[in-house]
Amino acid sequence: MREIRIRFRKTGRARYISHLDLTRAMTRAVRRAGLPIWYTEGFNKHPYLTFAAPLSLGFEGLAESMDLRLLEDVPEDEIVRRLNAVLPEGLAAVSAAEPVHKAGELETARYRLTFTGELSQMAAFLAQDAILVEKRTKKGGMKPVDLKPSLAGAVYTPSQDGEGIMEVTLPCGSNETINPALIAAAYNAFVKECTGVEQAADCRVLRTGLFCGENLPFC
Amino acid sequence: MNPTLEQLFMKVQKPGRYTGGELNSVVKEKGAVGIRFAFCFPDIYEVGMSHLGMKLLYGLFNAQPDVWCERVFAPDVDMEALMRENGVKLFGLESRDPIDTFDFVGFTLQYELSFTAILNMLDLAGIPLRSADRGDGCPLVIAGGPCACNPEPIADFIDLFTLGEGEEVNLELFELYRRHKATGFHREDFLREAAQIEGVYVPSLYEVQYHEDGTVASVTPKDGAPEKVRKRIILDMDAAYYPDRFVVPFIDIVHDRAMSEIFRGCIRGCRFCQAGFIYRPVREKSAETINAQSHALCENTGYEEFSLSSLSTSDYTELEKLLPMLLDWAEKEQTNISLPSLRVDGFSEELAAKLNVLRRSGLTFAPEAGTQRLRDAINKNLSEPEILDTAKKAFSAGWTAVKLYFMMGLPTETLEDVAGIAELAQKIVNCYYYNPNKPKGKGVNVSVSVSCFVPKPFTPFQWEPQDTIEELEEKQRHLRVSVTTKKVSLHWHDAQVSFLEGVFARGDRRLCAVMEEAFRRGCKRDSWSEHFSLQTWLDVFRDLGLDPAFYANRRRDFSEVLPWDHLDYGVTKAFLAAENRRAHESQTTPNCRQSCSGCGAARWKGGVCTNARN
Ligand code: SF4
């Protein structure tokens, strides 16, 4: 049995696929591709698939990660080719290879956030000493977190057509994760407080990479 | 800021209902197609996407190079509000183009309570509700499906109906449309010519006159439209189109699996069942065809589950041949075959175990009525010993739950028949406790579901009065006190909803005004109990001077002109009347394989009518 890590893109219309639905879509894709995949044993047999760091509904990703187990050897480029022949619009396999890192070694993710709307307060927003937001905890409660440490390394570039692009690395591991939607929410809250404008900006999220530590690509 | 569709998607529950882009959905080059068709299902995505007929026609239409068929479903409350707020018109899932720019907007009519959802969808699309108000630039609004057998309550809103099976008649409509489009399309000319195609009913070409008492006096065709419009059927099921792929949804839907149609029609002739009459005669597919189509479907969808579809799967004559063929590849490919409640006793235990027949569906029976006398009256051929025998077998194999389906308000029903429901359930409970191998420490659960009988057109009961809401509720109370054990759980349908369904089912054209007014007052999701308001409907009826009981609770005379008499589904009125009389004498009628009862469907010279009998 061979463990294989597929890296794939989830873009365009596919970004509305929730994580639960993605598992089902990938299961069926693997079946259509006719890959000799390992099924879990037991009453309710299903192909074994695991994903690193589920992507929220609405976000796009360029280097998502899914592990599966093959019962026979299939050349890696053929895995990619067979999957791409049967994947729906917006999902595309990029590579297939034996995993190097364990899922638990994943620590951060890099995002490109594209802001649209009223962006004139961005510099002031980022210059704050602390950027406190409420974050949902696993137990269902809320707790405050400071986004400032994560945003310290963020690079923000206003573009010509009135959009603003932010490149930012956020914790994305088993100990701590920060959902990039919190940044947009914090910015909107900030603008509302300064100017009274509600829902000033919209933000599209693209996850560009997964890393162990700050810079070692997860693979 | 006027949000784009994309921004709306982020604000609604389950955006996957509206985004499109699913595997096997068809996207064509706009400029390269001549006919754009919006296939509209007047219910939400999860319901509509589960429907086999839609998958079939979607595949067939898109197999025509110059036709692009897209899917459209009723948006849920949240999406509808956002669309109205932002001026977004109803759009096709594939192109996201507003459907008022399409050539055809086609609705499938699966249940009467979806009628107002159709009005809502037309309204959301920006298409005038009434055919009479549509100009040459408007799409043709067409409809088909089982409820087209009495389309009168929505006759003013639909330009034309197709009766019977849609595979051929729609392609003929497209052909006519191409010709008209090439020479300059005029709605009225098109409709007049379309009415000459067999199976096409153009309601505006028929004038209805009423007697003083509100019954129909006459229905008169004009402009050369046929006196009687006959339904279409496909005779050779092996040669008929069947899709080799389904659109595979991302979100969970009601029936998320591959399905193969194995035959059309039903041999049984249960007198309450409209499907058993309007789809006659029975026409089967060969086991080889089904096997090949099923395998292709599973390969092209990746579905892990697969089912056979028909009105009564255990009546398929080649089942014993088909199942091993299916199992041969399904086992290798880890695909589950699920079968609806089959008569398990017909199978070897080995086969039944492999199929997971019981695991998937549980043990279910539909006796429909509580006593043998009433079962004879409705021609439901299922006897008490048969039920008890199968239940015993299942209990000794370790099963502890049984589901029973009944109807209440059937013609000739007495309180004794109602109490019979409780008695039958009790006998099943007793079977469980007499069983020496019963699992230790486990009780049995017999769940009894009771729906309210609604008399339907083209059935022997089309003349019968429906029980009033009060009568039905009285019977429900009687059943409740007749059940004396906690092992039996009771569930029933809302009598109010069934009443409205009964009004629409046998309604006439005057209901169009009621329909429109009720829609204006907010009735647009009647098939969802949380949105259903009988009071609103009653108010509209009162304000428009019509009596709903006239439609639902009145006994018709055999000589009365029924609002659907100008439509011909093959089964003759004389046969239905004879069946009605037999019902009142509790006389059963043999099924089509035992002997032919001369229902009229033999005129097509095909299917079971021409099969050899033994
Ligand atoms: S004509 Fe006879 S065999 Fe054919 S459908 Fe009717 S009753 Fe059945």
Domain parsing of chain B, residue ranges: 3-225, 257-360+569-614
Confidence (pLDDT) at B345:
47
B602 lines ligand 1 (CB under 6 A): yes
CA distance A92 to chain B (A): 13
Out of A12, A17, A29, whose CB is closest to B302?
A29
Asked if A152 and A162 count as a contact pair (C-beta separation under 8 A), the reply is no
Q: Which residues, in sequence order, are bridge partners of residue B161?
A: B143, B201
- Give the integer Cα–Cα distance in Å for A14 and B3: 20
Chain A interface with B: residues with Cβ < 8 Å: 12-14, 16-18, 21-22, 24-25, 27-32, 39, 45-46, 57-58, 86-90, 117, 202
- B23: which DSSP letter? B
Confidence (pLDDT) at A140:
79
Cα-to-centroid distance, B259 and ligand 1 (Å)? 27
Same domain? For A126 and A68 the reply is no
Peptide bond before residue A88 is cis, with ω within 30 degrees of 0: no
Confidence (pLDDT) at A57:
93
Same domain? For A72 and A137 the reply is no
Q: How far is CA A142 from CA A1, A54, A136, B462, in A?
A: 43, 21, 5, 61
Confidence (pLDDT) at B2:
47
What SS3 class is residue A194?
helix
B23–A86 CB contact, under 8 Å: yes
CATH class held by domain B3-225: alpha beta
Asked if B33 and B66 count as a contact pair (C-beta separation under 8 A), the reply is yes
Radius of gyration over alpha carbons of chain A, in Å? Answer: 19
Residues in chain B, pLDDT under 70: 1-3, 340-362, 437-440, 614
Q: Given A74, A99, A124, which residue is the final one in a domain?
A: A99
The tokens for A126 are: 């980022």
Confidence (pLDDT) at B392:
84
Name the residue at shortest CA distance from atom 6 of ligand 1: B599
Cα-to-centroid distance, A117 and ligand 1 (Å)? 68
Q: Which residues, in sequence order, are bridge partners of residue B329?
A: none
Ligand 1: which of B280, B576, B579, B603 to mutate, most ligand atoms within 8 Å of CB?
B280
Name the residue at shortest CA distance from atom 1 of ligand 1: B602
Dihedrals φ, ψ of B244, to 5°?
Answer: -95, 5
B334–A57 CB contact, under 8 Å: no
Angle (nearest 5°) at CA B167 between B163 and B168: 80
B23–A28 CB contact, under 8 Å: yes
Q: Which atom of ligand 1 is nearest to the CA of B265?
A: 5
- A73: which DSSP letter? -
CA B250 to the chain's CA centroid: 24
Confidence (pLDDT) at B354:
61
For B81, other C-beta atoms within 10 Å of its C-beta total 13
Antiparallel, parallel or unpaired: β B305-309 and B283-284 = unpaired
Q: How far is CA B538 from CA B118, B469, B523, B535, B554, in A?
A: 20, 13, 12, 5, 17
The backbone region for B334, taken as left when phi is positive above 0, alpha when psi lies in -120 to 50, beta otherwise, is left
CA distance B335 to chain A (A): 10
What is the dihedral angle through the alpha carbons of B201, B204, B205, B206, rounded to the nearest 10 degrees?
A: 90
The tokens for A81 are: 């080719």
User: Which amino acid would we find at residue A30?
Assistant: V
Asked if B51 and B29 count as a contact pair (C-beta separation under 8 A), the reply is no
Name the residue at shortest CA distance from atom 2 of ligand 1: B596
Same domain? For A43 and A145 the reply is no
Handedness of CA A85, A86, A92, A93 (dihedral sign): negative
Dihedrals φ, ψ of B287, to 5°?
Answer: -60, -40
Residue with tokens 């006796």: B367
The tokens for B392 are: 């015993």
Cα-to-centroid distance, B570 and ligand 1 (Å)? 10
- Give the integer Cα–Cα distance in Å for B342 and B108: 28
Asked if A205 and A59 count as a contact pair (C-beta separation under 8 A), the reply is yes
CA distance B16 to chain A (A): 6
Confidence (pLDDT) at B596:
95
- Give the integer Cα–Cα distance in Å for B520 and B116: 10
Same domain? For A151 and A200 the reply is yes
Q: Given A66, A99, A132, which residue is the final one in a domain?
A: A99
CA A62 to the chain's CA centroid: 8
Size of interface A-B (CB pairs under 8 A): 63
Q: Which atom of ligand 1 is nearest to the CA of B608?
A: 3
Number of domains in chain A: 2
What SS3 class is residue A64?
strand
Closest by alpha carbon to B168, among B200, B124, B139, B191? Answer: B200
- Give the integer Cα–Cα distance in Å for B459 and B276: 8
Cα-to-centroid distance, B271 and ligand 1 (Å)? 14
What SS3 class is residue B524?
coil
Beta strand spans in B373-514 (E): 401-408, 445-452, 488-492
What SS3 class is residue B408?
strand
Same domain? For A210 and A115 the reply is yes
Q: Tell me, what CATH number does A49's domain have?
A: 3.30.70.580
- Give the integer Cα–Cα distance in Å for B310 and B316: 9
Out of B23, B299, B333, whose CB is closest to A88?
B23
B19–A13 CB contact, under 8 Å: yes
A13–B304 CB contact, under 8 Å: no
B302–A32 CB contact, under 8 Å: yes
The tokens for B443 are: 């009780």
Let me know if A77 is exposed, middle or buried by CB neighbors in 10 A (0-12, 13-18, 19+).
exposed
The tokens for B487 are: 């092992």
What SS3 class is residue B418?
helix
Out of B19, B23, B300, whose CB is closest to A16?
B19
Residues B126-182 pLDDT 10s:
999 999 999 999 999 999 999 999 999 999 999 999 999 999 999 999 999 999 999
B608 lines ligand 1 (CB under 6 A): yes
Chain B interface with A: residues with Cβ < 8 Å: 1, 7, 9-10, 15-16, 19-23, 248, 250-252, 299-304, 333-334
Cα-to-centroid distance, B245 and ligand 1 (Å)? 33
- Complete edge-to-edge strand list for the sheet that includes strand B401-408: B363-368, B401-408, B445-452, B488-492
Cα-to-centroid distance, B69 and ligand 1 (Å)? 35
- A103: which DSSP letter? G
Closest by alpha carbon to A132, among A124, A143, A123, A118? Answer: A143
Q: Which atom of ligand 1 is nearest to the CA of B607?
A: 4
- Give the integer Cα–Cα distance in Å for B528 and B501: 13
Antiparallel, parallel or unpaired: β A201-212 and A216-217 = antiparallel
End-to-end CA, chain B: 73
CA B251 to the chain's CA centroid: 23
What SS3 class is residue A115?
strand
Handedness of CA B133, B137, B138, B142 (dihedral sign): positive
Q: Which residues of B touch A202 (CB under 8 A)?
A: 7
The tokens for A56 are: 């929220």
CA B200 to the chain's CA centroid: 20
What SS3 class is residue B194?
helix
Cα-to-centroid distance, B576 and ligand 1 (Å)? 12
Answer CATH for B257-360+569-614 from 3.40.50.2300, 3.40.50.10480, 3.30.750.210, 2.40.10.330? 3.30.750.210
Q: Tell me, what CATH number does A115's domain have?
A: 3.30.70
Residue of B nearest to A202 (CA): B7
What SS3 class is residue B216?
strand
Residues in chain A, pLDDT under 70: 43
Same domain? For A91 and A110 the reply is no
Q: Which residues of A touch B304 (CB under 8 A)?
A: 27-28, 31, 46
- Give the integer Cα–Cα distance in Å for B14 and B424: 43
CA A29 to the chain's CA centroid: 20
Asked if B519 and B157 count as a contact pair (C-beta separation under 8 A), the reply is no
Q: What is the ipTM of this complex?
A: 0.89
> Which stretches within B263-303 are classed as H helix?
275-278, 287-301
Radius of gyration over alpha carbons of chain B, in Å? Answer: 25
- Give the integer Cα–Cα distance in Å for B576 and B589: 12
Residues A146-204 pLDDT 10s:
999 999 889 999 988 889 999 999 999 888 889 999 999 999 999 999 998 888 899 99
Asked if B158 and B151 count as a contact pair (C-beta separation under 8 A), the reply is yes
Q: Given A35, A66, A99, which residue is the final one in a domain?
A: A99
Name the residue at shortest CA distance from atom 3 of ligand 1: B609
Cα-to-centroid distance, B605 and ligand 1 (Å)? 10
Confidence (pLDDT) at B344:
47
Look up the domain containing A18 and give its range: 2-99
B281 lines ligand 1 (CB under 6 A): yes
Segment B234-239 long-range contacts (CB within 8 Å, at least 24 positions apart): B234/B165, B234/B167, B234/B168, B234/B264, B234/B283, B235/B283, B235/B604, B235/B606, B235/B607, B236/B606, B237/B263, B237/B264, B237/B283, B237/B284, B237/B285, B237/B289, B238/B285, B238/B286, B238/B289
The tokens for B231 are: 């339904």
Q: How many residues does chain A have?
A: 219
